[in-house]
Amino acid sequence: MSYRVPVMEKFAYQDPILAVVNEPVVSTKGTRYLVSATPSGDFTGHANAIAWSDGSTWYFNAPTEGWMVYDKGTKATFKYDGANWSGKTVTGDLDI
């Protein structure tokens, strides 16, 4: 049996986020959010980034094409196409 393995540069898994937000909601160690395309407050200038906190400071990772992230709040999976995130809510069993 043959299996196809995706190229990791185009399929970068990210740890789950709590929500897509415009500005920080909670800053506890391990908190992760997807910054919206129209950020405000401490997130200004970081549109579409993954924001994460060490409990006192926010850090931002700029996405590259192919990044994927799961939103725990909406149960949606988002994929970055190099310019925008697009999402799909997963319901039922996955056929992998």
pLDDT level of residue 7 (50, 70, 90 thresholds): very low
Q: What is the mean pLDDT of the chain?
A: 82
Cα gap 72→75, rounded to integer Å: 5
**29-67 pLDDT tens trace:** 988 999 999 999 989 999 999 999 988 889 999 999 989
How confident is the model at residue 69, as a pLDDT?
Answer: 92
Q: Are 47 and 37 in contact (CB under 8 A)?
A: yes
How confident is the model at residue 31, as a pLDDT?
Answer: 86
Amino acid present at 55: G
DSSP state of 66: T
pTM: 0.77
Tokens of 69: 């992230």
Strands 20-21 and 50-53, bridge-based pairing: unpaired
How confident is the model at residue 18, as a pLDDT?
Answer: 92
Tokens of 63: 């996405």
